[in-house]
Structure 1
Amino acid sequence: MSFLLSFHWGWLVGSLLLGLAMGWISVVQRGSGTSKVLARWLAVLVAVLVAVSLARVIPGRFGYWLDLGLTMFGCYLVGCTIGACLRDWVVSRSAPAA
């Protein structure tokens, strides 16, 4: 893990910044989003991938790519959360008092 952080820090920061931008933009989404059933299936898929990564079931290059992809996905989600919270904070501060 420390190798991933030290060697791919630029990509990880890039995924964090991309998540920050998408979190900032996503507050004004007008679509219906994903259904609860699809969200549950995606959560199960991510949990299975994390379990496979932690158990080191996939060796070699593909296991390395899995670890890197999950780390980048985690950075992206953290960036999305921070961006959405910042956007909510900025919008709520600039709203006129009722």
Structure 2
Amino acid sequence: MPYLVSFHLGWLVGSLLLGLAMGWISVVQRGNGTSKVTARWLAVLVAGLVAASLTHVVPGRFGYWLDLGLIMFACYLVGCTIGAWLRDRVVSRGAPAA
């Protein structure tokens, strides 16, 4: 894991910045989102991928790609969270008091 972080630091920072931008933009959208059934299936999928990564079920190059993809996905989600939070802070601060 430390090797992945040190060797792919630029890509990880890039995914964090992309997540930051998408989190900033996505607050404006007022869509329906995903259904509860779809959200549960996605959570099960991600949990399965994390479990496969932690138990080293996938060997070799594909296991390396799985680990890297999960780390990049985590950085992206952290960036999305920070971007949405910052957007909320900026929009709520600029709104006039009623």
- Normalised by the size of structure 1, how large is the TM-score? 0.98
Q: Does 1:33 align with 2:45?
A: no
Between the two proteins, the alignment pairs up a number of residues equal to: 98
Q: Distance in 2 between matches of 1:19 and 1:30?
A: 18
Structure 1: gaps (5+ residues)? none
Structure 2 gap ranges (5+):
none
C-alpha RMSD of matched pairs (Å): 0.5
Rounded to whole Å, the distance in 2 between the matches of 1:91 and 1:24 is 11
Deviation at 1:33, TM superposition (A): 1.2
- Residue identity opposite 1:73 in structure 2: F
After TM superposition, the score normalised by the length of structure 2 is 0.98
Offset of 1:32 from its aligned partner?
1.3
Runs of 4+ in 1 over 3 A off after TM superposition: none
